[in-house]
Amino acid sequence: MIARPSIYVIKLKRNLLPMLFLGFTFCLLIFSKSNLPAVKSGLALWANSVVPSLFPFFVATELLMKTNMITLSGNLLNRYMKPLFNIRGEGAFAFVMGIISGYPVGAKIACNFRQHNICSKEECERLLSFTNNSGPLFIIGTVGILMFKNTTIGILLFVTHLFACITVGFLFRFWKKGKNTFSKTSLHSFETSKKFACFSNLGEILAQSITSSISTICLIGGFIVIFSSILSILKASGCLDFLTAVFSPLFQLLHIDTNFIAGILTGLLEITNGINTICAIACKKISLNIIFVAFLLGFGGISILLQVWSIISKTDLSMKPYVYGKLLHGFLAAFYTYLFMNIFPFLNFDLT
């Protein structure tokens, strides 16, 4: 009699995923009327925004990985990377490309570093915590100019996003400090193979880079479509309205407009739709809109998290530093944004 509850718990854990997937399949059928336009919208977002902005960066990083650029950056920036982030100089390549390109380029480079043993496991996990960021093209162009209709807001969000990224990297310099699984022999063989690759068949190298990039960009497209479907189902089924009602008392207690709840919940799942919803909320205290957007840009959302998880699944890297790092990044970005808007009067966009 005593053993039955534990048996039921084991069966529930074993069957939870099949039950969720079955429920998702039924929801696709039941809410197909609202789901089909959502899927089309997701595909349009991927084709019109994600592919043009990310695909060239994927190809460029793949090509650079096949040259001696990583070794050169390592030699030049080792004196800065080691004391700041406790990562060898080669990690600067992931740091810079992660800043200028956007999700999930930084994570992909960190995984490539681990696969080729350019950095140790511990260093790659530190890289995961702070190099996978939203790019300036998305923050300044899409969020600032298109959504907020204000370039200054976009620049503010990018600066605080960058400050938060560097802070997270500095804090995670202590992650598994003292451990080292690095092999200099593997790095030497990697460098040698890259030197030969630079002077081998350029067409073959380009074809490999494009093939790898297409695989990653299609993976991202699949996640965008799936999460567009999930968001559509949550809205059509009333689940989003229910969650909004649950959190409304807390927001009222904090004197925050309850309209933000739907945008935040949406952004925690999929960043673009969530930020778009928050930017569209008419509010005299627009600083709230900006702070919530700063948090979502730093955190990235569950969709990005799963994209990164799928990328690192081929390695022995842990997801823990990434999850902890992105949560910390979100809170720090929101805090820095609040700080900047209160210190510098020209960055206060509230209406009086």
Q: What is the DSSP string of 283-320?
A: -S-HHHHHHHHHHHHHH-HHHHHHHHHHHHTTSS--SH
Closest C-alpha among 107, 203, 133, 156 to residue 340: 156
Residue 15 lies in a domain: no
Residue 40 lies in a domain: yes
Spell out the residues 6+ positions from residue 75 whose beta carbon is closer than 8 angstroms to its own.
Answer: 89
| Number of alpha helices (DSSP H) and beta strands (DSSP E) in the chain | 17, 0
Which letter does DSSP use for residue 136 in this model?
Answer: H
Spell out the residues 6+ positions from residue 307 whose beta carbon is closer than 8 angstroms to its own.
Answer: 103, 104, 107, 219, 220, 223
pLDDT of residue 350: 74
Spell out the residues 6+ positions from residue 197 whose beta carbon is closer than 8 angstroms to its own.
Answer: 66, 67, 205
d(CA 63, CA 198): 9
Alpha-carbon dihedral angle through residues 93, 96, 97, 99, given to the nearest 10 degrees: 150
Residue 208 lies in a domain: yes
d(CA 86, CA 80): 9
The answer to whether residues 225 and 42 touch, using CB atoms and an 8 Å cutoff, is yes
Q: How do residues 190-223 score in pLDDT, each as one tens digit?
A: 454 454 455 557 777 888 888 888 888 888 888 8
Residue 335 lies in a domain: yes
Residue 273 lies in a domain: yes
Q: How do residues 265-274 score in pLDDT, each as one tens digit?
A: 999 998 888 8
Rg from Cα positions in the chain: 22
The answer to whether residues 349 and 154 touch, using CB atoms and an 8 Å cutoff, is no
Residue 82 lies in a domain: yes
Q: Is the dihedral of CA 21, 22, 25, 26 positive or negative?
A: negative
pLDDT of residue 184: 53
- Sites in the chain below the pLDDT cut of 70: 1-13, 178-200, 351-352
Segments forming the whole domain that contains residue 155: 34-347
Residue 245 lies in a domain: yes
Domain count, the chain: 1
pLDDT of residue 189: 45
pTM higher than 0.95: no
Residue 311 lies in a domain: yes
